[in-house]
Structure 1
Amino acid sequence: MASLTGRRVLVVGRAGGIARAVTLALRAAGAQVVVAGRDEPALAAAYDDPDVEAETVDLTDEPSVAALAGRLGRVDHVVSTASARARGPVGELGHDVVLKSFDVKVLGPLLLAKHFAPHLPADGSFLFFSGSSARKPAAGMLAVGATNAAVDALTRGLAVELAPIRVNAVSPGTVDTGAYDGLGERKKAELFAAREATSPARRVGRADEIAEAVVFALGNTFLTGVSLAVDGGEPLV
């Protein structure tokens, strides 16, 4: 495993949930972290740490991504946790909702690769987020699954095109973060109970467990083109 001590890592995402867990895990591993997203003040307020910088970026806007790359210059690793949910049965999915899901989670990482690859060293890497719905279809998760499958394809393609820069993804299962709050308390509790009853792990995941996989992927210099499944075995049942 290559040390992350002193390496500069860009983490794109929100101020909480998995993005926060990833940032804290990277700092614990000795990395200097730049957190970036649409809400820079919230990001800046989330960390009381001089080795965590906050920046603004909109992954749906290419000039914004290019400008961030220009401001930061060299970074060693780029992590994107950003997503825009498009849950619902096919009959209720709107064009704009599905398009935004792809725009944030697939095209956004593509733009990050386009504009940051020239700034990464040969032993640098990109790390994106897929999801277990890419491997296990479920009613109401069609657009989410299609988006995640596209991330997996993007990861493999970029790993070939950007070599020797490595490109990987982490593919979580159901993780206890604010991502499910939009379901409402009852539906969220029902979903978690179902996962606890059926998944081989017999529980939902934690954000810190996903962050550990991110640290592993950035540090393992023989890992590329892989979507690491950290999902408690959900797709197996």
Structure 2
Amino acid sequence: MRVLVIGRSGGIAGAVADGIRAAGGTVVLAGRNQDEHVDLTDEGSIAALAERVGNVDHVVSTASARARGTAADLDRDAVRASFDVKVIGSILLARHFAPRLPRTGSFVFLSGASARRVVPGMLAVGATNAAVDAVTRSLAVELAPIRVNAVSPGTVDTGAYDALGAERKAALFASREATSPAGRVGRADEIAGAVLFLLTNGFTTGVTLGVDGGEVLV
């Protein structure tokens, strides 16, 4: 299988790419700083990527633009960017790549546990992820038999939390470890394993697969 993976070179995107290669697949990596450049906030950029890449079997997008903060301090532009990348970007990827996928192909997007678990300061992130879940279900019907699914990670140890600073990141992880039924935060390879399942299971579509250590339960 030939899979387009969109996101940062490390973290979840890197783990997904490694998992696909280990399964015998071929990966095309795209992102703002990848060999194949794409800006998911720019439809022209997505269309150009589709022309360059051509036909693929699957498309995986791990891209995000997080907008943390409460309603009192959220930046409007940051909220727009969050929706542009994960929600509108997913729709535009479907528009430009669905004609290039086989009937057995699929899209996998990344949602997040904040869509189901309310955490102060994660208002815009949660709203964005909930919208991704809705887009996933709708596209699964619109694009059928092409499959459309999402993976909803919990707290995963990637560079996504580095912006909090070392002290706040450590405190967040300690809090999750203390309350999560799994007793720890997740690893990028565990999210990648879920993505690979959705790419290869031909009878799964319209699903948001939670890989969150049970943190949405508490």
Which category of TM-score, normalised to the shorter sequence, fits these structures?
A: over 0.9
Equivalent in the alignment of 1:179:
160
The alignment yields a C-alpha RMSD, in angstroms, of 0.6
Residue identity matched to 1:27: R
Instruction: Give deviations 1:41-73, integer Å, cap 9, x for gaps.
Output: xxxxxxxxxxxxx31111111011011111111
1:135 Cα deviation after fit:
0.3
Q: Cα deviation per residue 1:61-113 (whole Å; 9 max; x = unaligned)?
A: 10110111111111000000000010011100011010000001111111100
Percent identity over the alignment?
A: 72
Aligned residue for 1:26? 20
Distance (Å, rounded) in 1 between the aligned partners of 2:79 and 2:189: 29
**Secondary structure of the structure 2 residue equivalent to 1:92:** coil
Q: Does 1:35 align with 2:29?
A: yes
TM-score (norm 1): 0.91
Q: Secondary structure at the match of 1:67?
A: helix
Long gaps (5+) in structure 2 = none
Q: CA deviation at 1:196?
A: 0.5
State the secondary structure of the residue aligned to 1:84.
Answer: coil
Match of 1:51 in 2: none
Cross-structure match for 1:17: 11
Uncovered stretches (5+) of structure 1, i.e. residues with no partner: 1-6, 41-53
Letter of the 1:20 counterpart: G
Q: Does 1:113 align with 2:107?
A: no
Which one-letter code corresponds to 2:12 in the other structure? I
CA distance in 2 between counterparts of 1:80 and 1:27 reads: 17
Query: How many pairs align?
Result: 218
State the TM-score, normalized to the length of structure 2.
Answer: 0.99
SS of 1:204 mapped into structure 2 = coil
1:162 corresponds in structure 2 to: 143
Aligned equivalents of 2:54, 2:216: Cα separation in 1: 40
1:83-122 aligned at under 5 Å gives the runs 83-122=64-103
Q: Are 2:59 and 1:78 equivalent residues in the alignment?
A: yes
Q: Secondary structure at the match of 2:87?
A: helix
Mapped partners of 1:189, 1:56: distance in 2: 33
Counterpart selection for 1:137 from 118, 122, 125:
118
Tell me by how many angstroms 1:228 deviates: 0.3
Q: Give structure 1 regions of 4+ aligned residues with deviation exceeding 2 angstroms.
A: none
Other structure's SS at 1:148 match: helix
Residue 93 of structure 1 aligns to a residue in which SS?
Answer: coil
| Cα displacement string for residues 198-227 of structure 1 (whole angstroms, at most 9, x for unaligned residues) | 010000000000000000000000000000
SS at match of 2:45: helix
What secondary structure does 1:89 align onto? coil
- Give SS of 2:72's match: helix
Matched, 1:236 2:217: yes
